[in-house]
Amino acid sequence: MTAVAFGVVALVLAGGFIDWLLMALRESTINAQIGHVQVMRPGYRDKGLGDPFNYLLPEDSSEQAAIAAMPEVKAMGARLSFSGLISQGEATVAFIGDGVEPDKERLLSSALHITSGEALSSADTRSVILGKGLAANLGVQVGSTVVLMATTASGGINAVECRVRGLFVTASKAYDDAALRVPIATARKLLKVAGSHVWVILLDHTEQTSEVLEKLRAQHGAAALEFVPWNELTDYYNKTASLFKRQVGIIRLIIGLLIVLSISNTLIMNVMERRGEIGTAMALGLRRSNIQRQFLIEGAVLGLLGGAIGAIVGVLLSTLISWIGIPMPPAPGMESGYTAEILNSWSLTAGAFVLAVATSVIAGLYPSFKASRMIIVDALRANR
């Protein structure tokens, strides 16, 4: 029973820790870069990189206003993506940029942390915020003046001068090493275009994504708009989640084997010690099926008690550990560490409990079969 309880505790803690890591990665990605749903022209994801100006969305359209008014939508903002060169003095590096609506981005990019300076402001159109890595590569600080150069919609070269208003970091160091953001008015002036490439939608809860996505496609599908959920825009997250799920599956397999071996060993020893009782019961007319059922019930009871104890202890421990916090070093691709927690999930706890009971019953199959197939005379000799 103790072995079963320890197995369930281990699964609740390990699975809860991995679930929290995935949840934190998902939410930081959604709230720093992509939102829950992105609205764009059909074909933009496949061909927009080569011909970005042919897939622009209109400004202040009726569809945009209708989507923003949906009750599930927390915030919605337009973004204009572009790339080019940024220079300061004799230093010049390449960048990827987004023109954003500063007031709306305070909600859309809540996981984008300003490490120094300030966030963008709609009142300061000639400002720019840089990823911390990009600023280090360029050798600039808050207050520095930089020049952004990009190719316009007509194929020419245009440039604007901006003041560095702040530096930011996200969950991806690779993004921070190349990214910058400017007010969308400045981006439109630099590129000499109107409109935007995507409308980014932030919902109240991530779990609402599928429901809202169906509504959007049903209501606005005829408006030549494509609605892309966050999980189709995060290849890194999808691969990480797949890897972690396989790891949890291996942990479940190991714990299941440990439970089977420990309970099987316990019940086999139980059968050997109770041979006399088994022989006496069979001599008095107790059927073999009854003997077998008794040992199966014993295995199931061990699983039920051990699983229940393990589930309760696991939930209490995960709550305590989350309250204290788990100091974590920087993950690959990140510059700073963070404090992790263990996510209490009823589905995970219930799954661990069911695993304990199921493997306990499986573990009792062979001992119960062995007990029910004893020869009565040989079993009675054990009383001597």
| pLDDT tens per residue across span 214-273 | 998 888 877 788 899 998 888 878 888 888 888 888 887 887 787 777 777 777 777 777
On the question of pLDDT at 183 being above 60, the answer is yes
Mean pLDDT of the residues in the chain: 85
- Identify the pLDDT of residue 316: 94
Written as six digits, the tokens of 270 are: 């139980």
- Identify the pLDDT of residue 333: 52
* Amino acid of residue 84: G
Closest CA to 100 of 27, 33, 25, 171: 33
Written as six digits, the tokens of 157 are: 């070269």
Q: What does the angle CA 49 – CA 50 – CA 54 come to, to the nearest 5 degrees? A: 90
Task: State CA 146 to chain mean position distance.
Answer: 36
Q: Which residue has the tokens 């039920």?
A: 304
Closest CA to 93 of 50, 133, 35: 133
List the chain domain ranges.
2-24+237-381, 42-224
CA distances from 227 to 44, 110, 197, 213, 224 (A): 11, 22, 13, 7, 10
pTM of the model: 0.76
How far is residue 229's CA from residue 342's CA, in Å, rounded to a whole number? 27
Buried b / exposed e along 67-100 (16+ C-beta atoms within 10 A): beeeeebbbbbbbbbbebebbbeeeeeebebbbb
- Identify the pLDDT of residue 313: 94
Written as six digits, the tokens of 112 are: 């984008």
- Identify the pLDDT of residue 142: 92
On the question of pLDDT at 364 being above 80, the answer is no
User: How many other β-carbons are positioned within 10 Å of the β-carbon of residue 376?
Assistant: 13
How far is residue 357's CA from residue 9's CA, in Å, rounded to a whole number? 14
Q: Which residue has the tokens 């409990």?
A: 353
Binned at pLDDT 50, 70 and 90, residue 21 comes out as confident
How far is residue 117's CA from residue 269's CA, in Å, rounded to a whole number? 70
Give the DSSP letter of residue 210.
H
Q: Among residues of the chain, what percentage have pLDDT more than 70?
A: 95
How far is residue 266's CA from residue 364's CA, in Å, rounded to a whole number? 9
Per DSSP, the three-state class of 27 is helix
Structure confidence by residue, pLDDT tens digits, 143-180: 999 999 999 888 889 999 999 999 998 877 788 889 99
What residues have CB less than 8 Å from 198, skipping those under 6 apart? 38, 39, 40, 44, 57, 78, 79, 81
Look at the chain and count its residues.
384
100 with 196: CB under 8 angstroms? Answer: no
Structure confidence by residue, pLDDT tens digits, 41-96: 888 888 877 788 888 888 877 888 888 889 999 999 999 999 999 999 888 999 99
